[in-house]
Structure 1
Amino acid sequence: MIKMLAFVLIGISSIASATDVVSIPRVTPYEGGVGTDDVRQKCDWNAKLSENIAHFAEGGATVTDTDVSRLSGKVLTMRITQVHAIGGGGLTGPKWAAVHGELHDGSKLVGSFDAHQHTSVGLTTCGSLNHLGKELGEDIADWLKTPTLDAKL
C-alpha cells in the first residue's frame, strides 16, 4: 500500500512539474535596427539562445516551433535589443549583446528581464556571439527558477 501511494504521489508530482515547464520560441528575433546584416545572416546564435536556456534550465524549459500565441501555460518571449559584434573576432575588441524577455502564464505577465553580457572570447564574430548566447542562456535559466518583474541580469 505504501509503495502504491508513493507511485501515485510521484505521478502527481510529475504532472504538476510538467505544467510548470516554460515554452520558448526556437528563434529569438532582433528588435528593428539591431545587428548588422552579416550578423543576422551568418550567425545563428539567436536560435541557439533558446536551446541554451532549455539546457541550463534542466527540464524547466522547452524549445518550441509552435506559434506561442496558441500555447497555454508559461511562455517566455524574448527579443535581442542590442548586439555589438564587429567582424574580426577577439582582435576587434569586446562583443556584447542584450536581450529583453517577458514570462507570461496565460495572459498574465509574471516576470520580465533585461539581460546583458559582454565577452572578448571567440576567434570569429559568430563564435563570440555563440559564447554570449551560452552566458545569457545560463543567466536566463537561473532567473526562470524565481522570475521577477523588471530583473536586471
Structure 2
Amino acid sequence: MDNRFRLAATAFLMALGAQAMADPLVIPRPVPYADDAVIAGKIKKECQIQEQLADYIEEYAREDHRLEVRFADSVQAQAAGLVLDVHIKDAVSEGNPFIGHRKSTTVIGKLYRDGELIGSFTGRRNSMGGMFAGYKGSCSVLGRTVRALGEDIAKWLAAPSMDALLGDLS
C-alpha cells in the first residue's frame, strides 16, 4: 500500500473520530414505551428493561464502536447534535421456567443530526431463556432480549440506514 494512501486514510479516520468525539450521541434513559405500546403491568412494575436497554446501547456503542453516548431524561428530534429517539414498542412475557419461556421485546428508533432524520430502525429480539432457562425468572429472560437489542442498535449506529430491520427481524 502506498505510504501517501496510508497517511490520507489515517487522516480521514482521525477526522471521523474527532467528529464522533465532538458530537456525542444523546439517548433517553430510561427508554420510554411508545405511546401506542400495550405493555403488561407486571413487566412495567417488576422488570428494568427501560433502563437496561439504555445502558446496553451505551455500553456496546462505547466499547465496540467507540461512540460517546450521553443520557437525557427525554430527547427532542429537533435538538442540536446527534439524537437517538428510541422507544420500546412491545414487550411480551409468556411462559415460565416450568413450561418454557417465550419472551420478546420490540423497539423502534429514529436517528437525527441537528434535527434532520438520518436513519430509522425497527428491532426485535426473542428469547426462550438460553442455557439453564429453568432457573431464570421472566425479567432475567426479558433482560437477554434488551441486551441483544442494545448490541444490535449500537452496531446500526456505526452505519445507520433508513428503515433498517434489526435482530430477529433481519
TM over 0.5: yes
C-alpha separation between the residues in 2 aligned to 1:33 and 1:147?
A: 24
Percent of aligned positions that are identical: 27
Among 68, 74, 84, the residue aligned to 2:75: 68
Equivalence for 2:58: 54
Partner of 1:24: 27
Instruction: Give the whole-Å Cα distance in 2 for the aligned partners of 1:19 and 1:124.
Output: 41
Query: What code does the residue aligned with 1:52 have?
Result: Y
The structure-2 alpha-carbon separation of the partners of 1:13 and 1:100, relative to structure 1 and needing over 3 Å to count, comes to closer
Aligned to 2:142: 129
- Give, in whole Å, the separation in 2 of the partners of 1:25 and 1:89: 32
Report the alpha carbon displacement of residue 125 of structure 1 after superposing the two structures with TM: 1.1
Name which of structure 1's ranges 89-98 and 101-110 shifts more when overlaid on structure 2. Answer: 89-98
Aligned to 2:39: 35
* 2:155 alignment partner, one of 129, 142, 145: 142
Flag structure 1 segments of 5+ consecutive residues without an equivalent: 1-8
| Distance in structure 2 (CA, Å) of the matches to 1:90 and 1:20 | 48
Question: What's 1:3 paired with?
Answer: none
Q: 3-state SS of the aligned residue for 1:16? A: helix
TM-score, structure 2 as length reference: 0.75
CA distance in 1, matches of 2:164, 2:125: 14
- Contact map agreement 2:37 2:89 (CA 8 A) in 1: no
Measure how far apart 1:87 and its partner are.
Answer: 5.9
Distance 2:121 2:16 in 1: 29
Q: Amino acid of the residue matched to residue 79 of structure 1? A: H
Equivalent-residue separation in structure 2 for 1:45 and 1:35 (angstroms): 11
The alignment's TM-score, normalised by the length of structure 1, stands at: 0.83
Question: For residues 48-80 of structure 1, what are the alpha-carbon distances to aligned partners after superposition, in whole Å with 9 as ceiling and x for unaligned?
Answer: 101101111124141413542384200101111
3-state SS, counterpart of residue 72 of structure 1: coil
Cα distance in 2 between the residues matched to 1:36 and 1:112:
26
**Counterpart of 2:31 in structure 1: which amino acid?**
T
Q: Which runs of 5+ in 2 are unaligned?
A: 1-10
- CA distance in structure 2 between the partners assigned to 1:36 and 1:20 by the alignment: 37
| DSSP 3-state at the match of 1:68 | coil
In structure 2, what residue type is equivalent to 1:75? V
